[in-house]
């Protein structure tokens, strides 16, 4: 499991932990392990134990074995990353408590054409979507926690979309939902750029939104309704509609394959989530249930939606104010486009990446050698800042996989600020040579 995959896996587990908390169980130990060492290490340690964790017992007694680490691994794409012994332990534990899980499998995935979903049927992307449209209403009358269609929407469909997109999915988080504990009226699949958001609760993203009556599915660029509801309450729809119009104005006539300004999700009530998703749509395209296109067309439309998404991110960040970007930094040739500098800084503030960088490179500044613990004592323990070295031109794609060792340096606050003022933002050695190593009157130099 590479660092980008481990980051997605960790986020997947943290979201499950958040669901556990909503049903009355707070998985404190699990969250601590995830924040400390990431998803792969945490799960390996939990599955490697001789007996089940207290969290397993708590979730089982609350009727939610589907939220245990064992079930989350076995019922998702992440199963393929763990060795046979750990998977065997997970199966035995769930079997011992009588939980009938739906195990994730894959078939012919290497050629990017097909994938086997939970019931073992080998299907193309278009047929998975058609199956959701055909079976969802009837499935929603059954038990949510144990239903294979819910598992397919949550795990298999996102995995298939990532495989179909290939390199275009690099750096994206792809997630699916059929509900949280109960069936949603309209399921969705979303593609998130972590620069903007990591979940459907905030920001904006590319998504597949299914109508409540299952008469069709939209490919969209849309906004989170949870964030708007919390901020604007009774005016949430008005705020979503206004911001959608603002985004469309920034895009101009560049929406190509997604021409619709509004959508109809057939909400059964104005208070349903579907109604709020309608208000948040920036642009969209409809596939009617009887006219689902082939995989190549769906993939092309998703790629077009991602192109619009990228354009929107650049347009939106160019208008976003950031007090930490000073005028001198704006004039540096490397950062001739202020929006790219903002994106660069957002990368540096990605907390998960920062923690990986600190763990890999340690807490001492790579320019001046400053160590906050040695200088300030315990209040400086572990403090250092992560600096992104990758040339900004590569951020145009905005989904490039980042390596904590190769693509970052660790710097003290002063050196970090100064390197952003220099012309050597991506070259630590050149920065040291010109601005640090040979300067007189530094601490420790002879005067």
Of 328, 350, 337, the closest CA to residue 393 belongs to 337
Tens digits of per-residue pLDDT, 326-345? Answer: 443 334 333 334 444 555 55
Tens digits of per-residue pLDDT, 396-443? Answer: 444 456 678 888 899 998 898 888 888 888 899 999 988 886 555 544
Phi, psi angles (nearest 5°) of residue 200: -80, 5
Sequence-ordered list of residues with C-beta below 8 angstroms from that of 352, at least 6 positions apart, any chain: 7, 10, 11
| 274 within 8 A of 185, measured Cβ to Cβ | yes
Measured between alpha carbons, how far is 383 from 372 in angstroms, rounded to an integer?
6
Instruction: Give this prediction's pTM.
Output: 0.54
| 363 within 8 A of 410, measured Cβ to Cβ | yes
Of 347, 349, 352, 374, the closest CA to residue 363 belongs to 374
Domain boundaries, the chain: 1-100, 102-319, 327-435
Tens digits of per-residue pLDDT, 71-101? Answer: 999 888 788 888 888 999 999 999 988 888 8
CB neighbourhood size of 37 (10 A): 16
Residue 323 confidence class, pLDDT cut points 50, 70, 90: very low
**Reduced 3-state DSSP string for 69-134:** HHHHHHCCHHHHHCCHHHHHHHHHHHHHCCCCCCCCCCCCHHHCCCEECCCCCEECHHHHHHHHHH
Residue 280 predicted with pLDDT over 70: yes
CA atoms within 13 A on the CB side of 152: 25
CB neighbourhood size of 445 (10 A): 9
DSSP state of 440: T
Fold classification of 102-319 is: BirA Bifunctional Protein; domain 2 (3.30.930)
Of 272, 279, 299, the closest CA to residue 179 belongs to 272
Evaluate the CA torsion angle 299, 304, 307, 312 in order and state its sign: negative
- Percent of the residues in the chain that have a pLDDT greater than 70, as a whole number: 82
When the pLDDT of each residue in the chain is averaged and rounded to a whole number, the result is 81
Q: What is the mean pLDDT of residues 198-214?
A: 93
Tens digits of per-residue pLDDT, 35-65? Answer: 888 899 999 999 999 888 888 988 888 888 8
Q: Tell the burial category of 51 from Cβ atoms under 10 Å away from its Cβ (0-12, 13-18, 19+).
A: exposed
3-state secondary structure of 438: coil
Using DSSP bridges, classify how beta strands 122-123 and 115-116 pair: parallel, antiparallel or unpaired.
Answer: antiparallel
């Amino acid at each position: 499991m590479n660092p980008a995959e481990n980051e997605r896996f960790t986020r997947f587990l943290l979201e499950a932990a958040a669901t556990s908390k909503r049903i009355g169980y707070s998985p404190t130990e699990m969250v601590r392990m995830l924040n400390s060492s990431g998803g792969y290490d945490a799960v390996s340690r939990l599955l490697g134990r001789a007996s089940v964790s207290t969290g397993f017992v708590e979730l089982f007694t609350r009727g939610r074995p589907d939220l245990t680490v064992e079930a989350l691994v076995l019922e998702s794409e992440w199963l393929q990353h763990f060795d046979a012994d750990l998977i065997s332990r997970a199966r035995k534990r769930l079997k011992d408590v009588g939980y009938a899980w739906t195990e994730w499998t894959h078939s012919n995935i290497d050629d990017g054409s097909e994938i086997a979903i939970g019931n073992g049927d080998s299907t193309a992307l278009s047929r998975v979507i058609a199956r959701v449209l055909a079976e969802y209403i009837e499935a929603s009358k059954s038990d949510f926690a144990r239903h294979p269609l819910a598992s397919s929407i949550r795990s298999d469909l996102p995995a298939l979309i990532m495989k179909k997109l290939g390199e275009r999915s690099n750096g994206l988080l792809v997630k699916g939902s059929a509900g949280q504990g109960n069936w949603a009226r309209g399921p969705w699949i979303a593609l998130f750029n972590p620069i903007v958001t990591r979940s459907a609760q905030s920001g904006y993203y590319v998504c597949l939104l299914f109508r409540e009556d299952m008469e069709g599915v939209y490919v969209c660029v849309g906004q989170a309704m949870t964030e708007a509801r919390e901020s604007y309450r009774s005016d949430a729809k008005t705020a979503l509609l206004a911001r959608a119009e603002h985004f469309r104005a920034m895009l101009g006539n560049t929406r190509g394959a997604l021409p619709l300004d509004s959508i109809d999700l057939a909400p059964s009530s104005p208070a349903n989530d579907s109604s709020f998703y309608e208000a948040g749509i920036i642009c969209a395209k409809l596939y009617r249930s009887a006219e689902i296109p082939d995989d190549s067309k769906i993939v092309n439309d998703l790629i077009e939606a991602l192109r619009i998404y990228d354009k929107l991110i650049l347009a939106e960040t160019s208008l976003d104010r950031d007090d930490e970007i000073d005028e001198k930094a704006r004039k540096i040739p490397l950062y001739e486009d202020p929006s790219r500098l903002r994106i660069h800084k957002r990368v540096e503030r990605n907390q998960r990446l920062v923690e990986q960088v600190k763990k890999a490179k340690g807490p001492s500044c790579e320019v001046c050698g400053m160590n906050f613990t040695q200088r300030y004592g315990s209040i400086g323990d572990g403090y250092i800042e992560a600096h992104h070295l990758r040339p900004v031109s590569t951020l145009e794609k905005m989904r490039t996989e980042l390596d904590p060792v190769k693509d970052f340096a660790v710097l003290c606050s002063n050196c970090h600020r100064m390197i952003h003022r220099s012309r050597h933002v991506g070259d630590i050695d050149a920065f040291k040579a010109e601005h640090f190593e040979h300067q007189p009157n530094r601490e420790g130099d002879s005067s």
